[in-house]
Structure 1
């Protein structure tokens, strides 16, 4: 497995460790691996929304599992990021309903407007644009997710407004 060259500070703060221990308390002592997904979410949220290999190794150590068991999960799910991403990640649903409603054109429009290609991050670190599998809001296609929130019935004008709102700090990323 090729490792990325990105470096990341690994800082498991006492607050983060307390949250991890709280999550672990929901599982039998000998089944710590069962907490892998929620622990990865917490750790990623606490580390600029991405997980370096070193950080994945730390999660493996905490859960007393092999690092490959963490790598397999992180590389499988698109919700986990293996490299630095923009503050605002535009995750466009690209499955059938959104595709038939023009999501590919909207992704191209968004990438052109931001001066990046799909999967890249703007120079200022503000935006990353990616295509993801079904987000489960087919009746509102085309749509995308930014943080924890869906943005539906998209068109170029709505994308322009979302970009402007992000730049102005008006977009909330999490429902916490």
Structure 2
């Protein structure tokens, strides 16, 4: 705090600046912010488990020895899975050490991609698609239902540490909008899963949360019982049989 007072203009109060960082958790980039804390600083211990260190070596074996830095993204993903869904500075420093690059090279990647969380998330991190098709189909109502039911703001973690709600851009299944994705960190990297839930309503998304809370596994994909995968709701109305092939030209008559 004293260092901030020395370098900032007097018109900017350090506490107000830090509060601004915390308020920024409302936005999609919120989880990339860094503020030193007791459990997130350069001296916080981080080591890959033996099983994950073996995985890290296997990942690096896919690249030439002089291009180990190419493994940075899968290694960050592995560290995030092990660490409950977010990356402390010490985890990034460890990866930099393993692949033999300055730490800043790892920071650059971890803060560029929104899939890497730099602050704590829930054991179930729920991300709502915020792109136009989902928004038109009610994604804001889905998010509002989640936040109200869990009693949190966007990117906050519930008091029991179980859930957090964020935003993601297009998840690539616009035909089944609106949708969310749930990252499950309850069992570390060994049991990590990443599942889409589509054709949601506010009522259904709350039901999915309660199923997860009980340790149940909600059916993934479309939640519309009249739809099969990405097919039309209610079933096909055209192309009900195999199409007839076009007639073959009589090449000898040409």
User: With structure 1 as the length reference, what TM-score do the two structures score?
Assistant: 0.92
CA RMSD of aligned residues (A): 1.5
Does residue 132 (structure 1) correspond to residue 168 (structure 2)? The answer is yes
Long gaps (5+) in structure 2: 1-32, 184-193, 219-254
The answer as to whether partners of 1:89 and 1:130 remain within 8 angstroms in 2 is yes
The answer as to whether partners of 1:4 and 1:83 remain within 8 angstroms in 2 is no
Structure 2 residue corresponding to 1:161, chosen from 193, 207, 212:
207
In structure 2, the CA distance between the partners of 1:9 and 1:163, relative to structure 1 (3 Å rule), is farther
> What does 1:35-114 align with in structure 2 at a 5 Å threshold?
35-114=71-150
Secondary structure of the corresponding residue to residue 165 of structure 1: helix
- How far residue 2 of structure 1 moved from its aligned partner, in angstroms, is 4.8
User: With structure 2 as the length reference, what TM-score do the two structures score?
Assistant: 0.65
Higher gyration radius (CA): 2
The answer as to whether partners of 1:88 and 1:126 remain within 8 angstroms in 2 is yes
In structure 2, the CA distance between the partners of 1:2 and 1:169, relative to structure 1 (3 Å rule), is closer
In structure 2, the CA distance between the partners of 1:6 and 1:131, relative to structure 1 (3 Å rule), is farther
Distance (Å, rounded) in 2 between the aligned partners of 1:156 and 1:149? 18
Distance (Å, rounded) in 2 between the aligned partners of 1:4 and 1:146? 27
Long gaps (5+) in structure 1: none
Does residue 118 (structure 1) correspond to residue 151 (structure 2)? The answer is no
Kindly report structure 1 stretches of 4+ aligned residues shifted beyond 4 Å: none
Distance (Å, rounded) in 2 between the aligned partners of 1:53 and 1:3? 10
Distance (Å, rounded) in 1 between the aligned partners of 2:89 and 2:177? 35
